[in-house]
Structure 1
Amino acid sequence: MTRKVTATAAMILVALLIGFDLSAAQPNPYAQPPLLAFGSGVAPSGGFCAALPN
């Protein structure tokens, strides 16, 4: 009985979290930085472990 209640509560919590995230997020795939921008003047951003320090 306790496992079913806990599992149900956890699944409801996960579903609510996913629902909130989808409703609050405004994803725009066209706003991503270009993958290869040689000579474009666009400064790199974000983290990448193999990137050289500026």
Structure 2
Amino acid sequence: MTKVSNTKLSVVFWSVLVLFLAWDTVVSAPIDLRNEPPLIAAGSGKASVGGHCAIAK
């Protein structure tokens, strides 16, 4: 019985994950690759922030 419930739980998990990724793709704004700051901006005059966690608000 444990094997059946693990299989069902696995199917539910992957279904929810796929649905979340599909929803996120539809709802999110497209990525503008030309407007991305450089990863290393030594001496260029631009700020060297680039990751989503480095955004200061």
Please state which band the TM-score falls in when normalised by the shorter chain: 0.5 to 0.7
Q: For 2:47 and 2:34, how far apart are their aligned partners in 1?
A: 17
Aligned to 1:23: 26
Q: CA RMSD in A?
A: 2.2
Instruction: Give the corresponding residue for 1:6.
Output: 9
Higher share of residues assigned helix: 2
Name the TM-score, length of structure 1 as normaliser.
Answer: 0.59
Percent identical: 13
Aligned residues: 46
Residue 19 of structure 1, CA deviation: 0.7
- Between the aligned partners of 1:44 and 1:27, the Cα distance in structure 2 is 19
Higher relative contact order structure (alpha carbons within 8 Å, sequence separation ≥ 6): 2
The answer for unaligned runs of 5 or more in structure 1 is 48-54
